[in-house]
Amino acid sequence: MIDNNASVLLIYTGGTIGMIENRDTGSLEAFDFKHLKMHMPEFALLKFTVDSIQFDPPIDSSDMDMEGWMQIVRIIQDNYSRYDGFVVLHGTDTMAYTASALSFMLENIDKPVILTGSQLPIGKVRTDGKENLITALEIAVDKAPDGRPFVPEVCIFFQNDLMRGNRTTKVNAENFHAFKSFNYPVLAQAGVHIKYEHHLIIHPRIRQMPRFHYMLDPNVVILKLFPGISPDMVKAILNIPNLKGVVLETYGMGNAPNLSWFGKAVKDAVDRGIVIVNVSQCITGTVEMECYHAGKILLDAGVVSGYNSTTEAAVTKLMFLLGHGMTAAQVKEHVKCPLMGEIDVN
Ligand code: ASP
């Protein structure tokens, strides 16, 4: 149900969606969102209010960072009481990282925060941006008859699918189906109607206010294993000064080479207080380090399971937990529990 008095704040951070072609040079340039209605006359047909605010300058999402995430959180916090929902327009390249980070930074929200973007700029005839944007806006203001929003979560809406933000990964550089949520079903599908899977959606804890977090620790790295990785490479990464957290991308169910130098390097790092989280390079399934000897070595070294987390969720969760000044032991305990539906613990 969409109320005529509803309002959404549209936050344009940058990315392809808000671009038009410079007729002289042929290159894509960001347009001023104050002129959105000029580029999208469909806006005039919406029955609710859309206000917009934009990053100055808008950025390619390759330039998104912790400061950018904090800027989005700040905009949402400052405007929280004034709007029914928020739509964040974002480049697709790092959207899954931003959606994951925001899911932790916006704790216990009771309003939708929907990220979307497009593969083709809004200024192009075949754009996928208009549909993504209009549907994201509708979802941001859509409510149950009792007035509660259907999706009070941080989500990505892209090409018909509404997905929990911290379950997403960009999977296609070209196709309009750019995102997938491999280990969790979609929260809604938009066709002729928007069909919500209500039982899959997280609702805020009652009698608790939303909390907006700004503390993130940058001393986190992703280490992806590959056959032939050398001791020097692994040691160089695990000895980065001030390193506090590692997302270790392993094989299959969480397996790593059975080499003494490798096990020793990992154990040394854990003993120095570095939290190492095991996520699989496979896109579906979960880490089970007890299954093979090749996983057990990691378990014995003190590596903690990331279960079926995406890398994007694991790395931003580590930044978030470490940013709150927790000890390594506390971080490990929290890594094992879902904070915002980002993992299934088996
Ligand atoms: N490079 C662009 C970005 O991520 C691509 C896009 O918007 O889809 O900002």
Which pairing describes strands 188-190 and 179-181: parallel, antiparallel, or unpaired?
unpaired
CB of 92 within 6 A of ligand 1: the answer is: yes
Question: The pTM is what?
Answer: 0.96
* pLDDT for 161 beyond 90: yes
- What value does the mean pLDDT take over residues 198-202? 96
Q: Which atom of ligand 1 is nearest to the CA of 119?
A: 8
Q: State residue 3's pLDDT score.
A: 80
Q: Is the dihedral of CA 23, 26, 31, 35 positive or negative?
A: positive
Q: State residue 181's pLDDT score.
A: 97
Ligand 1: which of 90, 93, 120 to mutate, judged by most atoms within 8 Å of the beta carbon? 93
Which residues sit opposite 211 in a β-bridge? 107
Q: State residue 51's pLDDT score.
A: 93
- Domains located in the chain, CATH noted: 7-212 (3.40.50.1170), 220-335 (3.40.50.40)
Q: Tokens 């979802």 identify what position?
A: 139
Q: State residue 78's pLDDT score.
A: 98
The model's pLDDT over 70-126, given as tens digits with 9 standing for 90+, comes to 999 999 999 999 999 999 999 999 999 999 999 999 999 999 999 999 999 887 889
Average confidence score pLDDT of the chain: 94
CB of 18 within 6 A of ligand 1: the answer is: no
Cα separation, 167 vs 183, whole angstroms: 7
Residue 26 DSSP SS3: coil
Comparing CA positions, the residue from 33, 66, 22, 59 lying closest to residue 322 is 66
The model's pLDDT over 257-302, given as tens digits with 9 standing for 90+, comes to 999 999 999 999 999 999 999 999 999 999 998 888 888 899 999 9
What percentage of the chain's residues is helix, strand, coil (to nearest 5)? 35, 20, 45
* pLDDT for 12 beyond 90: yes
Ligand 1: which of 62, 124, 176, 177 to mutate, judged by most atoms within 8 Å of the beta carbon? 62
Q: Tokens 């005839």 identify what position?
A: 125
CA-based max dimension of the chain: 65
Q: Please spell the DSSP secondary structure of 215-254, one letter per residue.
A: -----EEEEE--TT--HHHHHHHHT-TT--EEEEEEBTTT
CB of 16 within 6 A of ligand 1: the answer is: yes
Instruction: Find the 131 Cα to ligand 1 centroid distance in Å.
Output: 17
Q: State residue 114's pLDDT score.
A: 98
Cα separation, 224 vs 211, whole angstroms: 33
Q: What percent of the chain has pLDDT over 90?
A: 82
* pLDDT for 31 beyond 80: no
Residue 19 pLDDT grade (very low, low, confident, very high; cuts 50, 70, 90): confident
- Host H or E run for residue 337: none
Cα separation, 119 vs 122, whole angstroms: 9
Residue 326 DSSP SS3: coil
Instruction: Find the 154 Cα to ligand 1 centroid distance in Å.
Output: 19
